[in-house]
Chains A and B, each alone.
Chain A
Amino acid sequence: MDMDMDFTAPTSWADALAAKAERPDSLPICGGTDVMVELNFDLRRPPALLDLSRIGELREWSRRGEGSGAAIRLGAAVPYARIIRELSGPAPALAQASRTIGSPQIRSRGSVGGNLGTASPAGDAHPVLLATDAVVEAESVRGRRAIPIREFFLGVKRNALEPDELIRAVAIPAAAGPQQFAKVGSRNAMVIAVCSFALALDPDRRRVGTGIGSAGPTPLAAPTAEAFLAGELDWPGLRLPEGAARRFGALVAAAARPIDDVRGTADYRRHALAVLAARTLSWCLADARTGPGGAGREEPVPA
């Protein structure tokens, strides 16, 4: 009942886990950029809100491990504005995706943990997390578990969390090669993606990572396209045979499962994804030659 709706604001992680165990039906809120929209429009009436914004450790990040095993452990509530300022080196595609999110007001509040909690197919961080093989750190009073990102998204706005679990952090492997993110929308700010795409190349492991946003019931990876590109690329120099970029784009488009909706048609999304995939690939190859943000950036890729 609405009148009993409760608001709890723990100041420690242990207290948050205890509160979630006691009330598994409570809805976690932190930046509020998703949750408050649902409350304002009465789309949801959770019996309780669990405010995580007073838990300091959720707003911290750290670097773990060395060399090819290095990863960024990103606290669930680190706002996008700080990802842009502090993590563009080890997490370039995540920083790039963060710059496309909402507006300054949204980026100072919204976080990757919240994006994962909402698990929208259009969440801007998701394609990057898929492309970089991130791992979600979930925890409850029963213990902690690591959920590989490719097992995290179960359906439209459904994720693999148990009712008593909270997201504590996300482990993102530090970039070992070029990474790019691109998004299609009607303007530069305040846009829910029509579709989006992230690409991460790892020359050490000879691995290609992809992530597709807003073109399926969940964010998707494109494993066939990844295997194709990993086989075609001349590692570690990152040279590519003629025509391979176009074929890569076609395979990414084929991995999408888009629908027609208010933001775009399924056909348009497939077409745009093929363009974004070939374009981000050309940017990555240019970065490999000239360093991130190098001269090759504006190379046109035919649609």
Chain B
Amino acid sequence: MSSQEAAKPRGSIGRALTITVNGRERTAAGPVPPWRSLLTALREDFGLPGAKNACEQGECGSCTVCLDGEPVCSCLVAAWQAEGREVRTVEGLGDADGALGAVQQAFVECGAVQCGFCTPGLIVAVDALVHSSPGRPPGAAEVREALAGNLCRCTGYEKIIEAVGRAAELVADQDTQHVATEGMSR
């Protein structure tokens, strides 16, 4: 909850809010006030605590989600601006059966997680990056630029950057397998 939210009266203020979250149209549990950020709404009203609340001013990227396919700081989007739009959070990046997604798998394999607080935002940003240019692994400068808005105070970033390369490989493998499977089913 944001610093200002604690001071505000809770209860019936606001309206019902419907957003497509992780592929499913969902309505917030309670009325969402007009000043509430998408981040607070996801955490408090949609029960999705994956996006983390740290700086609340777009500096740290730990609240990164995809809005209509683009990585954004959910703390800087008014919840109502997302009405009727598509939001993807870190909770939506695993497989439906609970298995890890490619980027999550790469972070585990490379040891790119320490305290874990920045991890959900980074996973979303890296997922957007490795899917932005299918078949072409992003270059070193491109990776650093794409992740410039995600702060990590533990790792020193080297393992994270390693994980981006591994994620790109895993995504490319998945795509190849996908094409092969389609080929067999014809």
Interface residues of A (CB under 8 A from B): 2-3, 5-7, 9, 29, 31-33, 35-37, 39-42, 45, 49, 51, 53, 102-106, 108-109, 188-190
Contact = CB atoms under 8 A, between A and B. Distances in A.
Given A40-B3, A105-B73, A108-B72, A33 B58 contact: yes
Contacts of A5: 33-35
Given A40-B37, A105-B73, A49 B58 contact: no
A9 B81 contact: yes
The 3 A-B residue pairs whose C-beta atoms are closest, nearest first, are A103-B149, A42-B4, A189-B148
Interface residues of B, number: 34
A31 B76 contact: yes
Contacts of A39: 4, 35, 37, 78
Contacts of A109: 72-73, 76-77
A190 B125 CA distance: 16
Contacts of A3: 9, 13
B70 A106 contact: no
A105 B72 contact: yes
Contact of A41 (B4, B8, B149): B4
Contacts of A49: 34-35, 78, 80
A105 B73 CA distance: 6
A102 B33 contact: no
Nearest to A31: B76
Interface string B73-103: 1011110110100000000000000000000
B59 interface: yes
B3 A42 contact: yes
Contact of A105 (B2, B3, B8, B149): B149
Given A103-B61, A105-B71, 16 more contacts: A31-B76, A32-B76, A33-B73, A36-B58, A36-B77, A39-B4, A40-B56, A40-B57, A41-B2, A41-B3, A42-B7, A51-B80, A53-B81, A104-B125, A104-B146, A105-B73
Contacts of B59: 190
A39 B71 CA distance: 21
Interface of B: 2-4, 7-9, 13, 33-35, 37, 56-59, 61, 64, 70-73, 75-78, 80-81, 83, 125, 145-146, 148-150
B7 A6 contact: no
Nearest to B9: A3
A53 B85 CA distance: 12
Contact of B75 (A6, A40, A108): A40
Chain B CB within 10 A, most for which of A41, A103, A108:
A103
Given A6-B34, A33-B58, A39-B37, A104 B76 contact: no
Nearest to B59: A190
Nearest to B6: A42
Contacts of B4: 39-42
A45 B8 CA distance: 11
A216 B33 CA distance: 37
B81 A40 contact: no
Contacts of B80: 7, 9, 49, 51
B149 A37 contact: no
Nearest to A188: B148
A45 B57 CA distance: 16
B34 A106 contact: no
Contact of A190 (B37, B70, B76, B149): B149
Contacts of B56: 37, 40-41
A288 B98 CA distance: 58
Contacts of B75: 36, 40
A34 to B, nearest CB: 9
B57 A102 contact: no
A2 B14 CA distance: 11
A12 B2 CA distance: 32
15 contacts: A5-B33, A6-B34, A31-B76, A36-B58, A39-B4, A39-B37, A39-B78, A40-B37, A42-B3, A51-B80, A104-B145, A106-B73, A106-B149, A109-B77, A189-B148
Nearest to B64: A105
Contacts of A105: 58, 61, 64, 71-73, 76, 125, 149
Nearest to B83: A9
Nearest to A33: B76
A185 to B, nearest CB: 12
Chain B CB within 10 A, most for which of A45, A104, A105, A106:
A105
